């Protein structure tokens, strides 16, 4: 017996049924935007790579986590041990998840709609970002956005020129510190202290590699507007204090060992309140999925640039023996360098 479609079952003259038929067809048709965006990863040398892929590609991914599916990866890598010694293992993990591994960034760009730059070495992020931006692919860049303040400015300038949505963030921005802002017992924030691991990566400013995990939450609490930074260094700790334009002081305490506990305390007009649990990978991945779906970054470029100016000023303060360094001075130098990079 042949199967009949709903349309063939309607007899001639029953025209009144056609509106009902159309409604049924539309109701059962898949949504035009239900398919996830195809995502590619550049730089398969960090634990974030398999962790993020498992979150986005998991069978339980729903909502904003289901907005993308990782379909391709380009291994990349550099000569630093954190990259050189791990890229092969993480690449094989992705391959084992059924994700295609390609040999070049142009090959990856042919297969994807959106891109995540995950390379652990921030010094190559600008050169990796250039072809992605010129191809018009929305872009998330894992921490650090770049290996210098000048490179960070250049990335955002290029993205703006080509109209490409782009953002970068530490996972610790999302989670407990965000909830602290909603605490009515706190009142207005008069100051804050954050702390956590602050191991270094040779070739980039000291705070860029791991210090950003504590400095980004400091900015969540304090907002933008820092004018000067002072850094004091002891045997195993960096203390970086910023003075904001309204006189408030925000301080980051970097502990130079792996797996040191991280945390934050806000000094409010009504109370002193500690932050709850720090953000995890899932919270960040939700924001990434939402960003790729909407094209709206959860962190504005000017805030990320100021965070990196804060960290680069901390390095300059170290060079000057702990003297205060203005963010305006490091920004002026970096803008000149960024313009030269983009003119090449």
Strands 249-255 and 68-74, bridge-based pairing: unpaired
pLDDT of residue 33: 52
When mean pLDDT is compared across 29-33, 36-40, 126-130, 294-298, the lowest value belongs to 29-33
| CB-CB neighbours of 136 under 10 Å | 11
DSSP assigned state of 90: H
User: Please, which residues have CB within 8 angstroms of residue 22's CB and are 6 or more apart in sequence?
Assistant: none
Cα distance between residue 104 and residue 75, in whole Å:
9
Cα distance between residue 278 and residue 168, in whole Å:
17
Q: Tell me if the bond preceding 117 is cis, omega within 30° of 0.
A: no
Contact between 133 and 158 under an 8 Å Cβ cutoff? The reply is yes
Phi, psi at residue 153, to the nearest 5°? Answer: -60, -45
pLDDT band, residue 30 (cuts 50/70/90): very low
Query: Over 60: is that where the pLDDT of 67 sits?
Result: yes
H or E element: which one contains 94?
A: helix 87-96
Quote the tokens at residue 139. 């872009």
| Number of H-type helices and E-type strands within the chain | 13, 13
**Distance from the Cα of residue 162 to its chain's centroid:** 20
Domains, the chain: 37-170 (3.40.50.720), 173-279+309-329 (3.30.360.10)
Q: Which residue has the higher pLDDT, 69 or 181?
A: 69
- Confirm whether pTM is higher than 0.85: yes
pLDDT of residue 278: 66
Q: What percent of the chain has pLDDT over 90?
A: 80
CA distances from 8 to 2, 5, 167, 206 (A): 12, 5, 52, 71
């Amino acid at each position: 017996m042949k199967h009949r479609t709903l349309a063939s079952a309607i007899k001639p003259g029953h025209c009144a049924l056609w509106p009902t038929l159309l409604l049924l067809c539309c109701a059962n048709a898949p949504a035009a935007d239900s398919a996830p965006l195809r995502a590619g990863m550049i730089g398969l040398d960090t634990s974030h790579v398999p962790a993020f892929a498992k979150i986005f590609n998991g069978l339980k991914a729903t909502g904003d986590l289901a907005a993308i599916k990782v379909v391709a990866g380009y291994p990349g890598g550099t000569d630093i041990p954190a990259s050189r010694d791990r890229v092969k293992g993480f690449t094989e993990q992705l391959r084992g998840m059924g994700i295609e591994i390609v040999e070049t960034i142009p090959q990856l760009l042919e297969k994807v709609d959106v891109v995540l730059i995950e390379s652990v070495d921030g010094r190559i992020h600008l050169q990796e970002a250039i072809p992605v931006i010129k191809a018009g692919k929305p872009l998330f860049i894992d921490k650090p956005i770049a290996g210098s303040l000048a490179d960070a400015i250049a990335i955002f300038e290029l993205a703006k020129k080509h109209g490409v949505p782009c953002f970068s963030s530490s996972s610790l921005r999302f989670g407990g510190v965000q909830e602290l802002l909603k605490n009515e017992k706190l009142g207005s924030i008069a100051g804050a202290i954050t702390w956590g691991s602050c191991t270094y990566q040779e070739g980039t400013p000291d705070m860029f590699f791991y210090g950003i995990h504590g400095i980004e939450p400091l900015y969540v609490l304090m907002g933008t507007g820092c004018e000067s930074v002072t850094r004091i260094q002891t045997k195993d700790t960096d203390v970086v204090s910023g003075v904001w334009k309204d006189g408030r002081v925000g301080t980051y305490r970097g502990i130079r060992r792996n797996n040191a506990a991280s945390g934050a305390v806000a000094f409010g007009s009504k109370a002193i309140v500690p932050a709850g649990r720090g953000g995890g990978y899932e919270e960040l991945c939700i924001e990434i999925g939402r960003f790729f779906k909407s094209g709206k970054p959860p962190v504005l470029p000017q805030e990320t640039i100021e965070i990196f100016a804060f960290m680069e000023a901390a390095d300059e303060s170290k060079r000057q023996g702990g003297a205060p360094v203005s963010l305006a001075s490091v920004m002026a130098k970096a803008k000149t360098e960024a313009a030269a990079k983009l003119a090449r």
